[in-house]
Amino acid sequence: MTFRRFLTWIAEKLVEWQLFAALLILVKFAFPTSPGNYVSWQAFTAGASSQWSASIDEAAYMTRAFMGGSYFEYGLKTYEAAAYIVGIHLYFWSFYLATSILACVIGPKGYLPRAWLALAVSAVVLGVRLRDQIDIGNACVGGVLFLGGLIVVTVSALFGEALDRRLRDGPKPRVPNRSADRRVRFDLDLSS
């Protein structure tokens, strides 16, 4: 791994961390935790609506009771908490940083499947570490987070590959798209 690729990997992980925090907030606000909400589409939409209402009510209560009515501060604290949870649980407890750097060190060809494998290995490690706390509701939420995590890893890996390609190739020289003899000339002489 070159130093340039290592810097690209760091930028990729920073973007990924922000996307994982946003995913965690989305799952907290929008996805139901009861396993009965996953039996049909109608049950899922009813559970998602109920979860959304409960989360908004909780946010309103927290904002009024502890933050002086500032929804901005609530959003900031929620995002900070989500980033902390992702950083501690996913990146450190599940050894995701180690498996991710290993996927990057192996080589640039076929990086995306190795990034998915790194996430899967880390999900298994996290599942084993939290096996005492797993119930069917947590398993549903974990499944949703894993599927969303695959999307996040895909986006961040594509970002990392594009950034690495951009840094490797450097800026492209600007080439005019038409030659001078093919340009249209207007005669603005209105004296006749």
Report the largest interatomic distance among the alpha carbons of the chain, rounded to a whole angstrom.
Answer: 92
DSSP, residue by residue, 99-123: HHHHHHHH-STTHHHHHHHHHHHHH
Q: Which pLDDT score is estimated for 153?
A: 92
The string of pLDDT tens digits covering residues 30-67 is: 888 777 777 888 888 888 888 889 888 988 888 888 88
pLDDT tens, per residue, the chain with 192 residues: 778 888 888 899 899 999 999 999 998 888 887 777 778 888 888 888 888 898 889 888 888 888 888 888 888 888 999 888 888 888 888 888 888 888 878 766 778 888 898 899 988 888 888 888 888 778 888 888 899 999 999 999 899 888 888 888 877 666 666 555 566 666 666 676
pTM reported for the whole predicted model = 0.75
Fill in the amino acid letter for 130.
L
Q: Where are the domains of the chain?
A: 3-168
Closest among 100, 104, 102 to 5, alpha carbons compared: 104
Do the Cβ atoms of 163 and 5 come closer than 8 Å? Answer: no
Give the pLDDT confidence score for residue 30 in this predicted structure: 86
CA distance 81 to 109: 35
Question: Which pair of structure tokens corresponds to residue 118?
Answer: 């790194």
- Which of 129, 156, 159 is CA-nearest to residue 142? 129
The pLDDT tens digits of the residues spanning 175-184 come to 666 555 566 6
List the structure tokens of 16.
């990924």
